[in-house]
Amino acid sequence: MDYQAVLEEVAAQVRPQIGCGQVAQYIPALASVAPEQFGMAVVDVEGGVHGVGDWEVPFSVQSISKTFTLALVLARDGEKIWQRVGREPSGNPFNSLVQLEYEHGIPRNPFINAGALVITDRLQSLTGDASSTLLEFLRTESGNPDLGFNPAVAASETDNGDRNAALAHFMAAYDNLENLVPSVLEHYFWQCSVEMSCRDLALAGRFLARHGLRADGSRLLARSEAKQVNAVMLTCGTYDAAGDFAYRVGLPGKSGVGGGIIAVIPGRCTLCVWSPGLDERGNSVAGVAALDRFTTLTGLSVF
């Protein structure tokens, strides 16, 4: 497969959609990002790296971080986490509060904000420093020691974090947090603020295409655990648009409101696409279109 030629064709086909949608407004530090940007990377399981457009420009990973924190918790703690968080699609926006009350403080899945807070809480208990553990993992897997947090984005999320604080306090009331709410929120906001390029993210997510094997060949996840993370990405990774994403793209994927999306073709490659303009569900307009084009042009999907 000539991935480079495919990426160039995809970039040409989605050009009309670049700049469409709205850059995330509710985190002021993200609202100033220029919308007319687009990059896409493919890293295959043998280590080949391909990219097009702004694929080496760092952006805010936001909720894409939730894929990695879930993997880090599963790697340390196995199945136990599923007693505290479900794995069904929520059909609700990522920051919704309503379902939590009906379901007694157990979030529907690890990728909505409530579920991600539970995962960060567990990673904090297991490591003593959830956000640094994540950053260290991302640096090692991407081979980029310069990756870092963006303090302005973390501060902006903290200043505008009332919904996340409400979710965390609500779960604490149901005894579904082990650490104090301010500490869980702090690590969650830092993890969302990490800045990475498409290249960095595709490299860091390569273990999902390699059935759990890390860049150095050691095992992060058992083969069945890597399957589990990919399955939850497919069903829950793009929130209340997960059905439409599966229909159009046909791959496990995880989006973030920074405009990035990672996607996995197990056994073959990890992709990352970025374009800041979002649709009303918080997924990149040009990003989803590019992944749709990629699987259509190549015939590569999990279906």
| Interacting residues with ligand DON (CB under 6 A) | 62-63, 94-95, 113, 157, 164, 192, 255-257, 282
List Cα–Cα distances, 37 to 51, 153, 167, 256, in angstroms: 14, 19, 33, 15
Residue closer to ligand DON, measured from CB, 212 or 260: 260
Least Å from the CB of residue 45 to ligand DON: 27
Least Å from the CB of residue 247 to ligand DON: 18
Element containing residue 275 per DSSP (H, E): none
Active site residue 3: no
Contact of 174 with 235, CB cutoff 8 Å = no
Sheet strands (E) in the chain: 39-44, 49-53, 59-60, 195-196, 253-255, 260-265, 269-274
Active site residue 227: no
Instruction: Give the residue closest to ligand DON by C-beta.
Output: 63
Classified as helix, coil or strand, 25 is coil
Residue closer to ligand DON, measured from CB, 3 or 59: 59
Active site residue 32: no
Query: Considering 43, 66, 142, 184, which one is annotated as catalytic?
Result: 66
Residue closer to ligand DON, measured from CB, 96 or 113: 113
Active site residue 239: yes
Active site residue 188: yes
Closest CA to 61 of 206, 269, 200: 200
Return the residue matching tokens 């015939």.
Answer: 299
Residue closer to ligand DON, measured from CB, 94 or 149: 94
**Catalytic positions:** 63, 66, 188, 239, 257
